[in-house]
Structure 1
Amino acid sequence: MTSARPAPILPLALILTVLMTAWWALLGRADLAALRLPEPDDMVRLAQIRDWIDGQGFGDLVQARLGPPGGTPMHWSRLPDIVPALIVRLLSPLMGPARAEIAAVIFWPELLFFLDLLLAGALATRLGGERTAAPAVALAALAFPAVALFAPGRIDHHGLQVVLVEAMVLALLDRRSFLAGAAAGASLLVGVETVPVIAAAMLWVAGLWIGDRRRVGGFGLGLVAAALAGFALLRPEVWPADRCDGFTPPLFAAMLIGGGAWLMLGGLTPRLPDRRWRIGAAAAVAALALAAIWLAAPACLASPYGPADPLVAQAWPDQVGEYGGLLQQPLGRALAFLGLPLIALGVAGVFVVRAAERRPEWLLLGAIIVVAIATSIVQLRVAWFAAAFAAPVAAQWLERVHGRGVALLTAAWLLSAGLVWQTLGAATGPRPDAAAASCTSRETLAALGRLDTGTFAAPMKLSAYLIGRTQHRALAGPYHRNVQGNRALAEFFRSAPDEARYQANLWTIDYVALCPTATGGLPPPLVKPGGLAAHLLGGAAPDWLEPVSLIGSDLLVWRVRAIAAPGLQP
């Protein structure tokens, strides 16, 4: 196998990183200057970083301005906060906190983008040699939807997860099993979205162990080391034992059990020269590990997000604030997310079935793409991993068609460019709703920031922007742990105006906001005939709500008038 030479792809990755980051920053310069970030999660992540810098404990992940009084413990990891927080702390004395935050939200995704491009080039080299590295870097820079995770402002944790999974796969191909296990464990400490692709990689490792007694003890040791490091350094103060939605006791136990299983197989290797015995040992150890996880961490095998509230599940199905599954998406979005992965899957399939190309490397990347595409049926965002690994796979196709005619090569490049599929998806999908976009525009957020600080009952996407851009509180938000606040918001908007008045007092709501759209930015089940949301959208506000005019915004806002027994608490 040709050894990797990072030097030739390093300049290309650096140039593409700088140019594309500069272009994205130029396009979004007004929003970046106002610290209006691309996604709700980015805004709440920024709020979490600010809270930490302002004195909140490293292990205290409670978002005090979300949910009922007392706040909501987030399921996020502190790990993705470290670099942007460090940038803000270092640059604030030189340029002020606001400019330091702007620098942080640009540089952190840019750094991850650079690493993503380098890893794509290295993976392509392992598959097909050094000549495929440069095309892989170029395709990785176009690999939508994965590349969208590295745009300026995208400080949420998914970009870091993609880079860690790529590092895991590269380490596996280089037979650095300890680093692979450590990278897999680190990705789990960041979030459990990586479980499907890590499971696919583990099956591949098990297959090699059965086939040629590949060393696997290092993988287990790396996984255990990551779990213990997380326990020592990243364990949050709120550590629920009934959830597996982040680094919780069940996930910690599952990581230790999984790492121990690999260590057990590694110890058995010298004693099992016969393949049939290795198959039996692998099956027995896997069964024991699953049984142990079922006993010690049942949440990780059942519902990792915990029990769903029926009303919240009706209003916001498939977990609050997520994309949802493939079958729930408009055709345009599904095409944009899965166009490139499906092309790469076809390429990988052709290479795998050819006897000359039937190498373990192809089986690993093909398995990851298959699992990511299959999992996207349940949760579309897992397609990010499929797109990331599609770039080094598609680069092999470009190398094979090189020299066979300009038309064929051009077609291969276009089909392998994820941004082309994004453009096709945008052309075939519904047009962006300008009224919905105005709900979280920088003008709207600036106007809301000028209001006296209070608690908002507002659509969830707006709530996240309120937390990240203003000092207001939000009753609900797109986070599944905020069960009490999310249910309260659903009941509030569904209730008749007189009942909603009592709930406004119960939950100390100061403002009510709705987007200037047909449903006010709420899920249709919350716009119940006769309910408060229906009254407000119909122009029939009750007398206990006072309209608030926002300069430069069409957002519908009302201030709750003082009512009897204002001191009531839920």
Structure 2
Amino acid sequence: MNDTTRKPASLIGDLDRYWLRLTLFAWAAVSIWYLYDRWGYIQWLSLGDTDDNMRLMQVRGLLQGQGWYDLRQYHLNPPQGFDIHWSRLVDLPIAGLILLFKPFVGTAEAERLACGIAPLLPLSIAMIGIAATVRRLVSPIAWPLALVFLVASCTATLLMFYPDRIDHHGWQLAMLSLTVAGLSDPKGARGGAIVGVASAVSLTIGLEMLPYCAMAGAIIALRWVWDRAEAPRMTVYALTLAGGSTLGFALFASYADRVLRCDALTPVWLSVMIAAGAFLFLLGRINPEQRWLRLALAIAAGAAIAIGFALVFPQCLGRPEQVSPELARNWLDNVREAKPIYRHPFRTAFPIVTLPVIGIIGACIATWRARGTPRANIWIPVLLFLVFAGAMLLWQTRAGPAAQLLAVPGATALAWIVLPWCLGHRLLLVRVVGTVTAFVAVSGLFAGLAIQYLAIDPPSKRTKVVDNASGRCPTIPALDPLNKLPPQTIFTFVDLGPRLITVTHHNAVAGPYHRNGDAILDVQHAFGGTPENFRAIARRHGATLLLVCPNMAESTIYRARNPGGFYDQLAHAKTFPWLEPVPLPKKSPLRLFRIH
């Protein structure tokens, strides 16, 4: 064997043998690039989402001595505070990084570095899960292509891992990556344990991935129905799901989550996980030989859980947030990411759905090609999971990051068929142009390129003006002058409250968190009602300052819904004897008033 033959063979062997360390090396390279590219944002603490700001406030509370199980945010709606329906699990890496850096760079810089680095930690798990899945389903050396697709094409997914995106979505996507890796694991007990632990961790963090956890459990049960040799996978999954959920509840459930609420891992959902684990474990131990009997037992177990849930927890049969009809109508029903993908403009929807569609097509083709082989038994569960993730987009657009992530194995399988054909073609034009074209098509990159030149749903100039105006309001240069005033409660927009309390020493009245619907409605009623009504509500909350951001999206809603209301009058420069303008720096996008 000559050297030219030995070198490719050695390279292929190394890609297979050292896939884990090479994946971590790729993660390190991506992380370094993100930190370099986003360094300016990190230094300005550009926590773009309200939840990211609130997460940092939760971590600050923990480090300043707030109780482990006390997740109230006392800087919102003081003095009683704002109940937050999260857990401390995601706080831990952020707090750990702050404590690590603080002795060297001080508290403020330690927070900036922690917020920049923390979101990249779950990205490593997501990359490992996808690489492991593709190695089993496509080829032991196909995982680098999958990582390229993940980093280059999963735009909605990667946004959840950007520096400063410290909310919990990145960790839940990482658990979803482990879930699909567990479903594709040929070793039943190990695969069941991975799915069970990943589901329990995800549920401990929050209920956003509950449908995916339920689907993963259903797929494991269906595998057992079809093949009783899958019993070890199901029994281990049952034990880890029930045990992991119990441990997660004991370690991380807040005081407020120890009642029968429907929006977190409370006794409601803990009971469901324990019951589901108990049923699946018993079925796996009984493990009858007849397939029809296994199917009947699985259906009976599912029906028992569903009926028991409806009878014991009827309050949770509706929407889990359990908000008032008025708040649902004025707020939750209008959250853009909670609307189906087909309710969004084509310019928004097309780049999100392209890769999931390609992934489903690729998974279908790969499953068909694997028919009659052991690999088909691995592809079918992944295909079901992928189709389910794509269908979730028809329910809520916020399913886009998960759908793109889970589409990577299917897209990689399709590329593994198409790209070698192009590269091996006798025509040079096909080998060069065809390969590049095939890569751009199969990866879904064409969607992002094409949308720039399509004259469909072009953003209006008005939208740009509003976005530019509102985008400056949450920045540190805009809000920092408020720190020159003594600490007090400021009445401001719901969506501006979390940012205000994060970068200033002031308190706010409300933030966009459903457990505190009364305070949110107070803000809506205050801005939409009469001036006298605003003054009374502000007094009741102890607010002494009013802060507004003209043209912020929330402000346009108040003007559109309540013409002639307090905010509409204020926006038209009407003055009130009890409202005194407070000077701010020249060109400030904010307007500040003292409430007498």
Matched, 1:243 2:258: no
Alignment of 1:19-418 (within 5 A): 19-67=29-77, 69-142=79-152, 143-174=154-185, 175=188, 176=190, 177-213=192-228, 214-215=230-231, 216-239=234-257, 241-269=259-287, 272-306=288-322, 308-318=323-333, 323-354=338-369, 356=371, 359-405=376-422, 406-417=432-443
User: In the TM superposition, what is the alpha-carbon distance from 1:520 to its structure 2 partner?
Assistant: 5.8
Distance 1:458 1:28, change over 3 A: farther
Distance 1:185 1:439, change over 3 A: same
Distance 1:3 1:202 in 2: 35
Distance 1:19 1:510 in 2: 49
Distance 1:426 1:220, change over 3 A: farther
Distance 1:124 1:493 in 2: 53
Q: Which of the pair has the greater relative contact order for Cα pairs under 8 Å at 6+ separation?
A: 1
Distance 1:401 1:30, change over 3 A: same
Larger Rg: 2
Mind listing any 5+ residue stretches in structure 1 that lack a counterpart?
563-570
Distance 1:397 1:179 in 2: 26
Q: Which moved more, 1:171-180 or 1:192-201?
A: 171-180
User: In the TM superposition, what is the alpha-carbon distance from 1:11 to its structure 2 partner?
Assistant: 5.4
Mind listing any 5+ residue stretches in structure 2 that lack a counterpart?
1-11, 423-431
Q: Deviations over 1:454-482 (max 9, x none)?
A: 22332232222112222222212111111
Question: What residue number does 2:515 align with?
Answer: 481
Matched, 1:444 2:478: yes
Distance 1:420 1:443, change over 3 A: farther
Q: Deviations over 1:362-386 (max 9, x none)?
A: 2222222322222223321122111
- The alignment partner of 2:332 has SS state of coil
Q: Which moved more, 1:471-480 or 1:215-224?
A: 471-480
Question: What residue number does 1:513 align with?
Answer: 547
Alignment length (residue pairs):
558
- The alignment partner of 2:546 has SS state of strand
Mapped contact 1:121–1:136 kept (Cα < 8 A)? yes
Q: Which moved more, 1:421-430 or 1:83-92?
A: 421-430
Structure 2 letter corresponding to 1:111: L
Distance 2:68 2:411 in 1: 42
Question: What residue number does 1:464 align with?
Answer: 498
Distance 2:25 2:216 in 1: 31
Distance 1:12 1:437, change over 3 A: farther
Distance 1:381 1:223 in 2: 25
- The alignment partner of 2:141 has SS state of helix
Distance 1:90 1:71, change over 3 A: same
Question: What residue number does 2:6 align with?
Answer: none
Q: Which moved more, 1:531-540 or 1:286-295?
A: 286-295
Q: Which moved more, 1:228-237 or 1:72-81?
A: 228-237
Q: Deviations over 1:220-274 (max 9, x none)?
A: 10011112202321121112634221121211111111111211211221xx101
Mapped contact 1:118–1:137 kept (Cα < 8 A)? no
User: In the TM superposition, what is the alpha-carbon distance from 1:526 to its structure 2 partner?
Assistant: 6.6
Mapped contact 1:4–1:125 kept (Cα < 8 A)? no
Distance 2:209 2:316 in 1: 13
Distance 1:511 1:21 in 2: 41
Distance 1:484 1:351 in 2: 52
- The alignment partner of 1:156 has SS state of coil
Structure 2 letter corresponding to 1:456: I
Q: Which moved more, 1:335-344 or 1:444-453?
A: 444-453
Structure 2 letter corresponding to 1:326: I
Distance 2:531 2:449 in 1: 44
Q: Which moved more, 1:31-40 or 1:511-520?
A: 511-520
- The alignment partner of 2:135 has SS state of helix
Q: Which moved more, 1:260-269 or 1:489-498?
A: 260-269
Distance 2:163 2:477 in 1: 20
User: In the TM superposition, what is the alpha-carbon distance from 1:94 to its structure 2 partner?
Assistant: 2.1
Mapped contact 2:183–2:382 kept (Cα < 8 A)? no
Distance 1:116 1:518, change over 3 A: closer
Report sequence identity in percent: 29
Distance 1:476 1:518, change over 3 A: closer
Q: Which moved more, 1:357-366 or 1:432-441?
A: 357-366
User: In the TM superposition, what is the alpha-carbon distance from 1:360 to its structure 2 partner?
Assistant: 3.0
Question: What residue number does 2:5 align with?
Answer: none
- The alignment partner of 1:512 has SS state of strand
User: In the TM superposition, what is the alpha-carbon distance from 1:169 to its structure 2 partner?
Assistant: 2.3
Mapped contact 1:66–1:475 kept (Cα < 8 A)? yes
Q: Deviations over 1:498-535 (max 9, x none)?
A: 22112211121222222231766353577512211101
Distance 1:64 1:415, change over 3 A: farther
Distance 1:321 1:479 in 2: 15
Mapped contact 1:68–1:485 kept (Cα < 8 A)? no
Distance 2:174 2:478 in 1: 34
Question: What residue number does 1:566 align with?
Answer: none
Distance 2:264 2:389 in 1: 19
Mapped contact 2:528–2:558 kept (Cα < 8 A)? no
- The alignment partner of 1:193 has SS state of coil
User: In the TM superposition, what is the alpha-carbon distance from 1:453 to its structure 2 partner?
Assistant: 2.2
Distance 1:191 1:101 in 2: 24
Q: Which moved more, 1:469-478 or 1:146-155?
A: 469-478
Distance 1:379 1:106 in 2: 28
Mapped contact 2:310–2:317 kept (Cα < 8 A)? yes
TM-score (norm 2): 0.87
